[in-house]
Structure 1
Amino acid sequence: MSSNAKAAVSRVAVGQMTATGDQQQNLKTCSRLAKEARARGCSTLFLPECFSYIGLTPTDGVKMAQPLTGPLMQQYQSLASSVGIWLSLGGFQERSPTDPDRLCNCHVILDDQGSIRATYRKVHLFDVEVENGPVLMESRSTAPGNELVACDSPAGRLGLTICYDLRFPEVYQALTFQHQAEVLLVPSAFTKLTGEAHWELLLRARAVECQCYVIAAAQAGKHNEKRESYGHSLIIDPWGRVIGKLDDPSATGIAVADIDPEELQRVRRRMPIQQHRIQGRTCLGWDAPQ
C-alpha cells in the first residue's frame, strides 16, 4: 500500500441480548445477530459478556463451564466460519485449568474462519453489594486473569476488557499507549442501577482520554428472577460521540457503525495526548513514560 493510500473503513455491529440458562437458545440468538450483521455489511459482531449462559447462581456457571476446546466453543467457531464474520465473544464461562471450583470469564476473538485469535481473562472481578440491588461476589466462582491482551482485526487493533474493568482507566491507558489499541472493547452485563448511573459516562470517558473507538456490547433485560441487566449497547468514536446504539435500549438486536482509521488519526493529531502524556510523566519524575 502506498503512503497516500487511505486506510479502510470497517463496518461493525454491536450486539445486545438477554441470555438465559439455555445455552442452545442463546446460540440461536447469537446466530441470528451474526447473520443480520453480515447481511448489513459488517466485518465483525461484538457480543456481550455471558453471551452463552446466565444461570440462577454463580455455581451454575461453574457447572456449565467448558474448556475453549470444548463443544460449545466449537459451535461458535462454526458460526463464525459459516457466516463469514469475526466474532467478539465478550465473556465465555471457561473451565479453569487450575481450579475445579472456579471458572475464567474469558473474552474470545474469533476470525471469519473460526480460528481463535485472542483470549483475555477478566482481571477485575465484581465483588460488590449494589445498594437496593443484588450482591454479586464474582471472585467466589471466578479466577482472575493476569494479562492485558490486544489483537489485530478488520476493525483495527482491539483492546480486550470485560465489564467491571471499565472502572479502572489505567487498563485502557495501558491497552492504548503500550499495546497500541485503536478500538477498546467493553462487553458487559451491567446491573440496572449501576448502568443508569455510570454506563455511558464511563464509556465516553474511556474513549476521550484514550482517543479510541469504544464498542460496548451489553446484556439487557431480565434473565431470570435474580438477574436484570441494563442494556444500552453503544459504539463511541474517539471524540466521545455516540455513533451507534439500539433504538430500543432493552431489546435484542444490533446497532451498526463505521470504524474509520482516518478519523482516529485526525483526533490524535489535533490533540496529541500520547506525546503530552510522556512529557507530563517526565516532568513528574515518573519512571517509565507510558
Structure 2
Amino acid sequence: MALSLLTPNSLTKIPLTKLRFVPSLSPPPPPPPRAASVSFRRLSIMSSSNGIKVGAAQMTSTNDLDANFNTCSRLVQEAAAEGVKLLCFPETFSFVGMKAGESLQIAEPLDGPTMRRYCSLARDSNIWLSLGGFQEKGPDDAHLYNTHVLVDNYGNIKNIYRKIHLFDVDVPGNMTYKESDFTTAGTDIVAEDSPIGRLGLTVCYDLRFPELYQQLRFQHNAQILLVPSAFTKVTGEAHWEILLRARAIETQCYVIAAAQAGKHNEKRESYGDSLIIDPWGKILARLPDRLSTGIAIADIDLSIVDAVRTRMPISEHKRLESCQKISSLSSL
C-alpha cells in the first residue's frame, strides 16, 4: 500500500509499513481511565525508506524536578531504542509550578545543574533533544525567559530560542493567565541545522502568529518546525490540530508538536495530543489518546519537502511585498 501526496500521479509514493494510524479528520477517541502509574504508549509510522526517525513526547509535568527528569529519561531511553534521532519535549517539560512564583524560584541559567542534567542525558543516549520551554533565569529577579533549548547528541547546546509571544489571555470558562508578569519576551527568530534537517524553533502561543513561521520558512529556510506546547484544554479542543496543520500547509514544512497533557495540579490542565505532521498537512503520528505519557514517532524525509515545494512553488509566487511597495509608491 502507498500514500500519494497531491494527486495519485504526483510526488513520491510513500510506503506505509507497520501502520497503525488514527485518521486525522476524526477526533481522537475518548481517553481511558488513567492508571496511578505512568504508562508509556507510542504510535510509529514508517513514512519513507529514506526517512530519519523523530519523536514527539507527551507528558504531564508537575512541580517535582526529579520526577519530571525521570519521566523524560525513560522516554529518551525508549526513543533511542527505537532509533529516534531527535526527540522533542513539550513546553515546561522540567517543571510546572503549583503556586505563583514557583517557576521564578527554580529558574536557572543554561549552564545550571538542571540543563546540564538534560545535556548529559542527550549525550549518554546519543540523541538530539528539543527541550521546549525551559525556565531560564531572566534579566532580573522578577522575570525569567521561556526558552526552547536545542541539544545535540554530544550534549552540547546548539541553539536557544526565547519565546517571543507571551500568553496574556483570559480564556473563557477556563483561566486567566498573564505570562508577561514573570516572563521577559525574546526578540530573535531562530533556525538551526541538524542531521534531521533545518529546524525552526518556536514555543506554544507562537503558533497563533503565522508571520513567525513564514519568516522561518522563507527567510531562514526551515524544513521542520518545532512547536513544543502546553495548550489549555479549552483552546486545544478548539484550535490545536487546525493551527498546526495550517502552519505545515502554508510553510510546506514538517511540524513536530510535543504537548503537555492532563492535570498538572488542581489549577492547571493541558490539552495534550502530540502530533507529527507532513508538509502537505497530513498527520503522520499521534498517540492512541491525547492524555497518555508516551512518544509519537514518524520518519522525516526531506525529499518529501522538496517534492511538495516543487509541485506547488509558493516561494516563487509570493507577491505581497511587491504589492506593498507598489501601494506605497502610488500613495505619493
Q: TM-score, normalised by structure 1?
A: 0.94
Q: CA deviation at 1:9?
A: 2.3
2:221 is the counterpart of 1:180: yes
User: Closer, same or farther in 2 for the Cα pair 1:286/1:102, shift >3 Å?
Assistant: farther
2:207 is the counterpart of 1:153: no
| Stretch moving more, 264-273 or 57-66 | 57-66
Deviating 4+ runs (over 6 angstroms):
none
CA contact (8 A) 1:58 1:141 kept: no
Counterparts in 2 of 1:258-269, with a 5 A limit?
258-269=299-310
User: Closer, same or farther in 2 for the Cα pair 1:58/1:212, shift >3 Å?
Assistant: farther
Q: CA deviation at 1:79?
A: 0.3
Q: CA deviation at 1:246?
A: 0.6
- State the partner residue of 2:39: none
What secondary structure is seen at the aligned counterpart in 2 of 1:72?
helix
C-alpha separation between the residues in 2 aligned to 1:268 and 1:38?
31
Residue type of the alignment partner of 2:274: S
> Relative contact order, CA 8 A, sep 6+: which one is greater?
2
C-alpha separation between the residues in 2 aligned to 1:72 and 1:238?
34
What secondary structure is seen at the aligned counterpart in 2 of 1:285?
helix
C-alpha separation between the residues in 2 aligned to 1:142 and 1:207?
28
C-alpha separation between the residues in 2 aligned to 1:248 and 1:178?
36
Q: How many residues align?
A: 280
- What are the superposed Cα offsets for residues 113-134 of structure 1, whole Å, 9 maximum, x if unpaired? 1000010000000000110001
Select the residue among 90, 95, 103 that pairs with 1:48: 90
C-alpha separation between the residues in 2 aligned to 1:176 and 1:245?
24
2:332 is the counterpart of 1:282: no
Counterparts in 2 of 1:95-110, with a 5 A limit?
95-96=137-138, 98-110=139-151
Residue type of the alignment partner of 2:298: A
> Bigger radius of gyration, 1 or 2?
2
Q: CA deviation at 1:283?
A: 4.0
What secondary structure is seen at the aligned counterpart in 1 of 2:244?
helix
Select the residue among 101, 113, 117 that pairs with 1:71: 113
Select the residue among 176, 179, 182 that pairs with 1:138: 179
Cα-Cα RMSD? 1.5
C-alpha separation between the residues in 1 aligned to 2:258 and 2:320?
34
What secondary structure is seen at the aligned counterpart in 2 of 1:24?
helix
Residue type of the alignment partner of 1:39: A
Q: CA deviation at 1:100?
A: 1.2
Q: TM-score, normalised by structure 2?
A: 0.82
Identity %: 57
- State the partner residue of 1:199: 240
C-alpha separation between the residues in 2 aligned to 1:15 and 1:29?
10
User: Closer, same or farther in 2 for the Cα pair 1:262/1:105, shift >3 Å?
Assistant: same
C-alpha separation between the residues in 2 aligned to 1:105 and 1:10?
29
Select the residue among 95, 119, 123 that pairs with 2:160: 119
